[in-house]
């Protein structure tokens, strides 16, 4: 699906990022895998069985808080598309609602939504400089679409962070904003909103979550790559400003 395409992946060292790297390589794309820490990125990719010496894979550092760095990497590699898999956050991220300070809330929104905005802005600026087909895929969440189901967190220390809900819902509208602002069918901004991704959560949570789906329960990261590959490909040439929810029916109940 991605023959002759170059795809930039940010946050490539994350659980979803590594899976997207693998999927893009399988679809014959040239992949630019970026993250803050190059040695850690290489280690994590190797751990996932990805050949870091693959002739179509390039590893690089990228700070999504720096507009010049983003624009430079876009000009250097001239990608046909990008997937933003990054999720920057501070050390206080994930506290329960009444424990979240305003400073921490603002900090996480600034770090995460702010960097997503900057990346979209710079991708758009790159497109305006070199107008040719470009597909940007952002990752939102079911919790950017529906209210949290707090009951599934009962009997665990987990919660659904309030910052996450604010960031992911805003990201959906921000993506639509960017697509509408550029107003050129060659520049596409779409989203994939996954349900929960399995990552060693407590068994009680996994069971409670599964009862809200059609049978799969928590998804594997690989379960969402098909939608991402579609949006990056020419099959989605006139799909713009859309949010594809991949959740095994989690949002059907609300």
Catalytic residues: 164
Q: Which of 187, 197, 191, 203 is nearest to 242 (CA)?
A: 191
CB 93 within 8 A of CB 108: yes
Burial category of 53 from C-beta neighbours within 10 Å (exposed 0-12, middle 13-18, buried 19 and up):
exposed
- The token duo for 28 is 């014959």
- Residue 236 and residue 226 in contact, taking contact as beta carbons nearer than 8 Å: no
How many whole angstroms separate alpha carbon 168 and alpha carbon 109? 10
Residue 246 to residues 13, 44, 216: CA-CA distances in angstroms? 22, 25, 12
Helices (H) and strands (E) in the chain, counts: 7, 7
Dihedral sign (CA 165, 251, 149, 226): negative
Relative to beta strand 81-84, strand 134-139 is parallel
Closest to 216 measured CA to CA, from 193, 245, 243, 195: 195
Which DSSP letter does residue 218 get?
S
């Amino acid at each position: 699906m991605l023959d002759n395409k170059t795809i930039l992946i940010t946050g490539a060292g994350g659980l979803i990022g590594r899976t997207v790297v693998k999927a893009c390589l399988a679809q014959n794309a040239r992949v630019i895998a970026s993250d803050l820490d190059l040695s850690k990125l290489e280690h994590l990719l190797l751990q996932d069985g990805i050949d870091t010496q693959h002739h179509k894979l390039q590893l690089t550092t990228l700070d999504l808080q720096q507009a010049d760095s983003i624009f430079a990497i876009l000009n250097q590699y001239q990608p046909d598309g990008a997937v933003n898999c990054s999720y920057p956050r501070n050390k206080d991220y994930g506290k329960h609602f009444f424990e979240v300070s305003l400073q921490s809330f603002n900090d996480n929104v600034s770090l995460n939504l702010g960097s997503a905005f900057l990346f979209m802005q710079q991708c758009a600026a790159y497109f305006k400089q070199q107008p040719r087909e470009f597909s940007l895929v952002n990752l939102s969440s079911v919790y950017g679409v529906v209210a949290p189901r707090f009951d599934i967190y009962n009997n665990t220390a987990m919660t659904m962070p309030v910052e996450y809900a604010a960031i992911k819902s805003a990201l959906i509208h921000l993506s639509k904003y960017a697509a509408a602002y550029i107003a050129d069918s060659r520049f596409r901004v779409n989203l994939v909103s996954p349900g929960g991704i399995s990552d060693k959560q407590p068994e009680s949570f996994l069971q409670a979550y599964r009862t809200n789906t059609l049978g799969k329960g928590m998804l594997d990261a690989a379960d969402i790559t098909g939608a991402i590959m579609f949006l990056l490909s020419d099959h989605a040439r006139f799909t713009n400003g859309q949010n594809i929810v991949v959740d095994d029916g989690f949002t059907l109940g609300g």
